[in-house]
Amino acid sequence: MNSFYDTLETRAPDAREAALLAALPGQVAHAQKASPAFASILAGVDASAITSRAALAQLPVTRKHELLERQQAGRATNVFGGFSALSFGAGMPRVFASPGTIYEPEGTRRDYWRMARAMYSAGFRPGELIHNSFSYHFVPAGSMMETGAHALGCTVFAGGTGQTEQQVQAMAELRPAGYIGTPSFLKLIVERAAEMGVALPTVTKALVSGEAFPPSLRDWFTERGVAGYQCYATADLGLIAYETSAREGLVLDEGVIVEIVRPGTGDPVPEGEVGELVVTTLNPDYPLVRFGTGDLSAVLPGTCPTGRTNRRIKGWMGRADQTTKVRGMFVHPGQVAAIVRRFPQVLRARLVVSGEMANDQMLLQVETTETAEGLARQLGDAIREVTKLRGEVQMVPPGSLPNDGRVIEDARSYR
């Protein structure tokens, strides 16, 4: 049986990169023309010149809170804030709502959210029945998985959420090949089935998402005959990355261009360093260019042992938005980045907020080979100028700060 969903997965890395970059100028131009929001965000940008990752990195990052703000400001005229290239009608069969509230369009293209690839990697094959326990109302998760399953050639039982005993009964009687949904709900179903004395022998595989999937829970499923795999997707972008049988990180989807940037900035970090996932999708219906997911991850070296040649990421490693309030004022990662940009001798920085409430203290730890007292004083002045707050400075050798994507660490005691 073929181990790959299609030949795109085993392309030479250079061929993939060339194909993605060849599609990039057209997608940027399309976003400028079809999306009023990006016509504003990318005003003055020559789309034909965006032919490299370096050129892409010069474009502004649009983060989720900015998308929400544009949607809220334009509700009366355009509920999508000008980001959608689609209008209500036959070309947009469904609209979904994610917490915020952020509204997302769904187009008519086959496998609109590109989920079939992740399902195939998790072991699902054409002709099988899949038990889909993602929500079918408000959020797009249920439809994301169902449209992917249909593209793969599978039948779907629309289980949705809740009603655990009915879920067990449906699984026992319909005998699906596997489950798709959150890992915690699958655990509830398996436990309830055991309590009811109902066997679920056909449920031998699962594609899970929407929550953390630690190795301990994966092993728990394995002990009960279920091979669980995870994928990383969002309501804005669809599939971003998926797990393979190698269990070594998540392989990037073929329809997205992924960057890892320093939180609070649009600056790409060196390979292996933890930063915020920024994604440019090639979806013409919702053409998000440099969309900041707000999630932390890092690129893994090398390629997947399964033979898939796309880059891999470590998976979800936390949230990139580390904004915190210090002495009544908000301090955010972009301010730390603004301070660092003033000093080329500073390699990396981390702002540690400590003390007890009402007695906040800020310490800016900077990696540098220069230890002159004058630099520390200049950095202290910059902290006060940028944040309007006083802060101490600590020089540390290069490589001393943790590689965890944290730009601001809140180490205060809240007791």
226 and 332 fall within a common domain = no
Q: Residue 67 domain-assigned?
A: yes
The answer to whether the beta carbons of residues 259 and 56 sit under 8 Å apart is yes
Mean pLDDT for the stretch of residues 163-182: 97
360/315 same-domain check: no
Q: Which residues contact 195 (CB under 8 A, 6 or more apart)?
A: none
Asked if 156 and 304 sit in the same domain, the reply is: yes
Same domain, 357 and 313: no
Based on the fold, state whether residues 107 and 124 are members of the same structural domain. yes
Average pLDDT estimate for 348-361: 82
Mean pLDDT calculated for residue range 11-15:
97
Helix runs in 241-353, H state only: 333-341
Q: Given pLDDT bands bounded at 50, 70 and 90, which one contains residue 100? A: confident
Where does a domain end: 301, 319, 337? 319
The first and second tokens of residue 78, run together, are 């355009």
**What is the reported pLDDT for 99?**
84
Q: What is the pLDDT of residues 34-76, one digit of tens each?
A: 999 999 999 999 999 999 999 999 999 999 889 999 999 988 8
- Average pLDDT, integer, range 141-149: 97
What CATH number has the domain bearing residue 227? 3.40.50.12780
| Average pLDDT over all residues of the chain | 93
Q: What is the domain extent for residue 224?
A: 13-319
187 and 255 fall within a common domain: yes
Single-letter residue type at 374: G
Whether 313 and 353 map to the same domain: the answer is: no
In this structure, what CATH number is given to the domain that contains residue 375? 3.30.300.30
| Separation CA 277–CA 298 (nearest Å) | 8
Task: Name the domain boundary from 270, 295, 319.
Answer: 319
Q: What is the pLDDT of residue 370?
A: 82
Q: How many separate domains does the chain show? A: 2
Please check the confidence at residue 414 and state whether its pLDDT lies above 70.
Answer: no
What whole-number percentage of the chain has pLDDT above 90?
Answer: 80
Tell me if 62 sits within 8 A of 288, measured CB to CB: yes
* pTM assigned to the model: 0.86
302 in the same domain as 334: no
Q: Is residue 6 part of a domain?
A: no
Burial bucket for residue 303 (CB in 10 Å: 0-12, 13-18, 19+): middle
- Least Cα distance to 332 among 269, 264, 397, 378 occurs for 264
**Residue 415 falls inside a structural domain:** no
Confidence band of 323 (pLDDT split at 50, 70, 90) = confident
Nearest one of 262, 273, 266 to 403, comparing CA atoms: 273
Average pLDDT over residues 168-174: 97
Residue 267 clears pLDDT 50, i.e. is over it = yes
The pLDDT value recorded for residue 415 is 47
Distances (CA, A) of 133 to 136, 178, 266, 401: 9, 11, 36, 41
Q: Is residue 4 part of a domain?
A: no
Give the per-residue pLDDT at 65: 86
Examine the domain organization and report whether 344 and 307 are in the same domain. Answer: no
pLDDT(28) > 70: yes
Residue 372 confidence (pLDDT): 72
Among the residue ranges 115-119, 250-254, 336-340, the one predicted with the least confidence is 336-340
Q: Which of 295, 310, 286, 299 is nearest to 237 (CA)?
A: 286
Regarding whether 300 and 332 lie in a shared domain, the answer is no
User: What pLDDT, on a 0 to 100 scale, did the predictor assign at position 232?
Assistant: 96
**CA torsion angle for 69, 74, 79, 81 (degrees, to 10)?**
-60
Residue 290 pLDDT > 70 = yes
pLDDT digits (tens, 9 = 90+) for 213-225: 999 999 999 999 9
Token readout for 51 is 């032919």
Which of 302, 319, 336 represents a domain boundary (last residue)? 319
User: Quick one: pLDDT band at residue 1, thresholds 50, 70, 90?
Assistant: very low
- What single-letter DSSP state applies at residue 237? T
Query: What pLDDT was estimated at residue 358?
Result: 57
pLDDT reported for residue 316? 87
State the pLDDT at residue 413: 67
